């Protein structure tokens, strides 16, 4: 039996944090109370991507896109939309009757996106295998088991030109092929879901919204390379994703899609979850495998490469979540289809977590070759609060900054590398004029220093030394020779570190030095922080021509540094001021300036 | 009846995992789930049951950020310091919280009520800056909201 309306409620971590679970239950309760529970089906889906506007509720078949919904709104949604067939205008994205945009796709945030990896996120119930199957799920596995030879699968991936989405961009078919050809009675398949880049959540959202797409792909790989066992290594910090994976694995076993004799093909294959425990370095393949084995996650020298010999000494294919999520689509639609999307260098799409000082924070998936300008301005809606764009950081703590002049660079693996950054796993952090580039570089370095496993000296000592220099610069104690020293240490780290964590750790500093040399000079020479972030280098002053003497700031000042008579300009005592900025936030007249 | 400081369920979990390769981290997760942290005593019990030297267990525990060696407060406060939250003032939230409850990051209030932790990315960057108290998420937090938020846990 069909329903009159299907109500999709976003069940991603972002929206759940804004009480979407309560909305889900309120909608069910209201439908019951108003006597229409036989007419509507309420479904909790994965992430819609438009996190800025969450929690999101979409009602089908009208495709009404409701944003910032509260549990209290459930009553009105059922009474108006479901029963009377009238949209609740005040909750619609553009708050207007739907003329301006007829379909969700017409919302600017979605216009330039193409969803392959996130195809099912926000449209199916991730805890119901039937919905995945209805969306062509497990069709690719069936094709691989009964119609294709293992070499055909590898050939299809080769035609597709799929490259690893974890950051390095290594061709996926080659990894599979190496492992397939490697000698060994036992082989393993591993999914790297240890998403460690702070400010990135592509993999988490994929697993929360469409866990079967990863299970299906891992099973396809197992059959192709001759493995019978897979592991998903996932951050313990992702409880919802872990739960959805567990549910998905259980359902897949019940349907004969995992376990013994899959679909009667005689092929045995099963998957286990292994929890990470908060170590960024475990995103590095060899460290991750150490961690699965239950050890400290220390990277190992390569060769031997994982494809030949690693997990318990056996050949292992290891791919990132987003890479896996592409595989079934490639098998279904063909490698040529996939290769037709994107640029010559990089095929397909890439998912980014667009965050920072941007109007529309969220999860976006775009074809390779889309420019950063399109992502920041068309999809992201530009910089929040009318501020000026400063830079975008891609590649997280291993990447670099991209400035205005390079915003028209088409995004692909080679293009980003050329301008001193990298694709990385998909974090995309937007900075505005208030962000100090030296401070941000320091932030990333602090992160990598904290996460360095300490095994090799260039990373352990080099990172700390770089950090100390940056600290000195932001304290106003920088010297001319510091820049040269930064470059020397960075060079040593790049060539001397064992793994990518150490080799790429200097990137944020080097790229910000390359694009913002004047900002480093301002800190070092003039002892000034142009964006007013480095507290040691700024002072707060009251502009007497703007101050009307309302005393609001002096009442808020926690240390009593502001004095003056009522209705006369006030003054800040610089010796007492702790530079907390409360006065500036309080002043309605813009009289408080940073110098 | 449990023979040791672990619950029957935890002992059963350990026996189930005992024979599997690479079981240590999974077992330590389960221990932390039961106690909220992994005490030295608990680690010694794991060492005894698995036959893994204490040095190896301690090595793993101290390597991974997720494992806590000290008992958290009744309410554990986590402030996100992922990049998005940092840019939007997460560090100021930490500072303000520290002032309010009188402890530094990693600390526990004397009455054992609050512990304060800085974490990497809670995963809802659209809500930056974000803090959580015992799992409840607070998004787009401003400095002057903090007092009120803490009062809810009085």
In chain B, the residue whose alpha carbon lies closest to the alpha carbon of A282 is B64
Low-confidence ranges of chain B (pLDDT < 50): 1
Tokens representing A315 are 């050949």
Using a CB–CB cutoff of 8 Å, tell me whether A531 touches chain B: no
B138 membership: H or E segment, kind and range:
strand B136-138
List the single residue in A with minimal CA-CA distance to B63. A296
Angle between helical axes of B8-18 and B24-35 (0-180°, round to 10): 170
Clarify whether residues B54 and B98 are in a common domain: no
Q: Report the distance separating Cα A15 and Cα A298, nearest Å.
A: 35
Size of interface A-B (CB pairs under 8 A): 127
Cα distance between residue B138 and residue B130, in whole Å: 6
Per the structure, how many domains does chain B have? 2
Q: Is B100 part of any domain?
A: yes
- Residue A313 is predicted with a pLDDT of 81
* Domains located in chain A, CATH noted: 5-106 (3.40.30.10), 129-338 (3.40.50.11540), 349-432 (3.10.20.600), 437-524 (1.20.1440.230), 539-594 (3.30.70.20)
Does one domain contain both B79 and B146?
Answer: yes
Listed by number, the residues of chain B in 111-130 with a beta carbon closer than 8 Å to a beta carbon of chain A are: 119-128, 130
- The per-residue pLDDT for A100 is 46
Distance CA B45, CA B54 (A): 9
The answer on B16 and B48 residing in a single domain is: yes
Q: Which residue has the tokens 């009474």?
A: A79
**Helices (runs of H) and strands (runs of E) counted in chain B:** 7, 4
Last residue of a domain, one of B23, B39, B63: B63
The pLDDT, as a whole number, for residue A103 is: 62
Which residue ranges of chain A lie beneath pLDDT 50? 100
Structural domain includes residue B19: yes
Which pTM was predicted? 0.92
How distant is the Cα of A3 from the closest Cα of chain B, in angstroms? Answer: 32
CA distance B61 to chain A (A): 9
Axis-axis angle for helices A139-146, A321-333 (nearest 10): 70
DSSP state of A269: B
- In this structure, the answer to whether residues B53 and B83 fall within a common structural domain is no
At B123 the three-state DSSP class reads coil
Candidates A14, A276, A435; nearest CB to B127: A14
Look at the alpha carbons of A509, A165, A177, A286 in this order and tell me if their dihedral is positive or negative: positive
Burial class (CB in 10 A: 0-12, 13-18, 19+), A97: exposed
Range of the domain at B106: 75-151
What is the structure's pLDDT at A306? 72
CA torsion sign for A458, A464, A467, A468 is negative
> So what's the pLDDT on residue A104?
64
A429, B124: Cβ pair inside 8 Å? Answer: no
pLDDT of residue A197: 85
> Does the residue B14 lie in any domain?
yes
Residues B53 and B102 in one domain: no
B59 and B79: one domain? no
Does residue B57 sit in the same domain as residue B80? no
Inspect the interface and report whether the beta carbons of A14 and B64 lie closer than 8 Å.
Answer: no
Contact A411, A370 (CB under 8 A): yes
Q: Is residue B122 part of a domain?
A: yes
Cβ <8 Å between B127 and A277 = no
Between positions 88 and 117 of A, the ones with CB within 8 A of B are none
Q: Is residue B137 part of a domain?
A: yes
Instruction: Say whether both B94 and B130 belong to one domain.
Output: yes
Q: What are phi and psi of A174, to 5 degrees?
A: -65, -45
Task: Please tell me the predicted confidence (pLDDT) of residue A237.
Answer: 87
Which among B28, B59, B63 has the least Cβ separation from residue A279? Answer: B63
Same domain, B21 and B48: yes
Among B22, B65, B125, the residue with its CB nearest the CB of A353 is B125
Q: Is A380 on the interface with B (CB under 8 A)?
A: no
> Residue by residue, what is the 3-state secondary structure of B20-86?
CCCCHHHHHHHHHHHHCCCCHHHHHHHHHHHCCCHHHHHHHHHHCCCCCCCCCCCEEEEEECCHHHH
Decide if B1 is inside a domain.
Answer: no
Alpha-carbon distances, residue A336 vs B42, B65, B67 (angstroms):
56, 44, 46
The residue of chain A nearest to residue B123, with distances taken between CA atoms, is: A201
Q: State which of B63, B90, B107 marks the end of a domain.
A: B63
Q: Which of residues 289-348 of A touch B (CB under 8 A)?
A: 291-297, 312
Sort A407 into a burial class: Cβ within 10 Å, 0-12 / 13-18 / 19+.
middle
Task: Assess whether B85 and B147 both reside in one domain.
Answer: yes
Q: What is the pLDDT of residue B1?
A: 44
Residues of B in contact with A391 (CB under 8 A): none
Domain membership of residue B70 (yes or no) is no
Q: How would DSSP label each residue in A383-435?
A: BGGGPPEEEEEESGGGSEEEEGGGTT-B-SHHHHHHTT----SSEEEEEETTS
Nearest to A204 among B65, B83, B123 (CB): B123
Instruction: Answer yes or no: is the ipTM higher than 0.85.
Output: yes
Residue B93 in any domain: the answer is yes
Query: Chain B interface, mutation test: which of A53, A195, A197, A199, most B Cβ atoms within 10 Å?
Result: A199
Calculate how close chain A gets to B1, using CA atoms only, in Å. 29
Tokens 């299906």 — which residue? A216
- Statement to judge: residues B107 and B58 lie in one domain: no
A204 and A118 Cβ atoms separated by less than 8 Å: no
Report how far residue A534's alpha carbon sits from residue A439's, in angstroms, rounded to the nearest whole number. Answer: 7
Domain harbouring B85, CATH code: 3.40.30.10
**Claim to verify: residue B54 and residue B83 sit in the same structural domain:** no
Domain's final residue, options B39, B63, B87:
B63
């Amino acid at each position: 039996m069909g329903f009159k309306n299907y109500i999709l409620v976003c069940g991603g971590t972002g929206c759940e944090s804004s009480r979407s679970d309560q909305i889900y239950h309120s909608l069910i309760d209201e439908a019951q109370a108003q006597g229409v529970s036989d007419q509507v089906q309420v479904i909790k889906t994965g992430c819609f991507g438009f996190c800025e506007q969450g929690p999101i509720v979409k009602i089908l078949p009208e495709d009404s896109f409701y944003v910032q919904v509260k549990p209290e709104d459930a009553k009105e949604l059922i009474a108006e939309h479901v029963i009377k067939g009238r949209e609740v205008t005040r909750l619609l994205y553009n708050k207007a009757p739907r003329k301006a945009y007829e379909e969700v796709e017409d919302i600017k945030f979605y216009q330039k996106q193409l969803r392959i990896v996130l195809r099912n996120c926000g449209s199916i119930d991730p805890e119901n295998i039937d919905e995945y199957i209805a969306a062509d799920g497990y069709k690719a596995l069936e094709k691989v088991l009964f119609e294709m030879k293992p070499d055909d699968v590898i050939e299809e991936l080769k035609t597709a030109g799929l490259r690893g989405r974890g950051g390095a961009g290594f061709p996926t078919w080659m990894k599979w092929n190496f492992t397939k050809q490697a000698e060994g009675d036992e082989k393993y398949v591993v999914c790297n879901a240890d998403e460690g880049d702070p400010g990135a959540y592509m993999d988490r959202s994929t697993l929360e919204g469409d866990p079967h797409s990863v299970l299906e792909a891992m099973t396809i790989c197992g059959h192709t390379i001759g493995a019978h066992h897979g592991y998903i290594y996932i951050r313990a910090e992702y409880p919802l994703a872990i739960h959805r994976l567990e549910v998905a694995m259980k359902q897949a076993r019940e349907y004969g899609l995992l376990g013994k004799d899959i679909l009667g093909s005689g092929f045995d294959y099963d998957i286990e979850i292994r929890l990470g425990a908060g170590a960024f370095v475990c995103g590095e393949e060899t460290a991750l495998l150490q961690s699965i084995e239950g050890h400290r996650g220390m990277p190992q020298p390569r060769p031997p490469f994982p494809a030949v010999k690693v997990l318990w000494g056996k050949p292992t294919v290891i791919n990132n979540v987003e890479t896996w999520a592409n595989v079934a689509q490639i098998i279904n639609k063909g490698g040529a289809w996939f290769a037709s999307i994107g640029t010559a260098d990089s095929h397909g799409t890439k998912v980014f977590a667009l965050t920072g000082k941007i109007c529309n924070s969220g999860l976006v998936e775009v074809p390779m070759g889309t420019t950063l300008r399109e992502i920041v301005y068309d999809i992201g809606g530009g910089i929040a609060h009318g501020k000026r764009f400063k830079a975008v950081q891609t590649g997280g703590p291993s990447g670099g900054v991209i400035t205005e002049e390079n915003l028209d660079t088409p995004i692909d693996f080679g293009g980003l590398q050329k301008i001193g950054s990298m694709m990385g796993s998909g974090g995309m952090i937007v900075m505005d004029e208030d962000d100090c580039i030296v401070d941000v570089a320091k932030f990333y370095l602090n992160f990598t220093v904290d996460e360095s496993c300490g095994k090799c000296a260039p990373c352990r000592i080099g990172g700390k030394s770089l950090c100390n220099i940056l600290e000195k610069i932001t304290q106003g104690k920088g010297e001319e020779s510091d820049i040269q020293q930064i470059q020397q240490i960075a060079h040593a780290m790049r060539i001397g570190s064992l793994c990518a964590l150490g080799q790429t750790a200097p990137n944020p500093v080097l790229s910000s030095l390359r694009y913002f040399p004047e900002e480093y000079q301002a800190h070092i020479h003039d002892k000034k922080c142009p964006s007013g972030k480095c507290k040691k280098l700024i002072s707060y002053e009251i502009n007497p021509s703007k101050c009307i003497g309302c005393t609001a700031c002096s009442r808020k000042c926690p240390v009593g540094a502001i004095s003056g008579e009522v209705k006369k300009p006030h003054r800040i005592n610089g010796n007492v001021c702790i530079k907390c900025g409360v006065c500036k936030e309080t002043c309605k007249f813009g009289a408080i300036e940073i110098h | 009846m449990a023979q040791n400081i672990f619950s029957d369920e935890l002992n059963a979990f350990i026996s189930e995992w005992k024979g599997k390769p690479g079981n240590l981290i999974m077992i330590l997760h389960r221990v932390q789930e039961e106690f909220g942290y992994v005490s030295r005593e608990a680690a010694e019990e794991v060492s005894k049951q698995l036959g893994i030297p204490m040095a190896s267990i301690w090595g793993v525990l101290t390597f991974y950020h997720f494992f806590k060696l000290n008992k958290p407060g009744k309410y554990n406060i986590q402030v996100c310091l992922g990049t998005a939250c940092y840019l939007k003032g997460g560090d100021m939230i930490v500072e303000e919280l520290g002032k309010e409850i009188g402890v530094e990051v990693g600390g526990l209030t004397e009455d054992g009520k609050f512990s304060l932790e800085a974490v990497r990315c809670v995963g809802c960057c659209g809500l930056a800056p974000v803090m959580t108290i015992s799992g409840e998420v607070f998004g787009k937090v401003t400095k002057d909201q903090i007092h009120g938020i803490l009062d809810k846990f009085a």
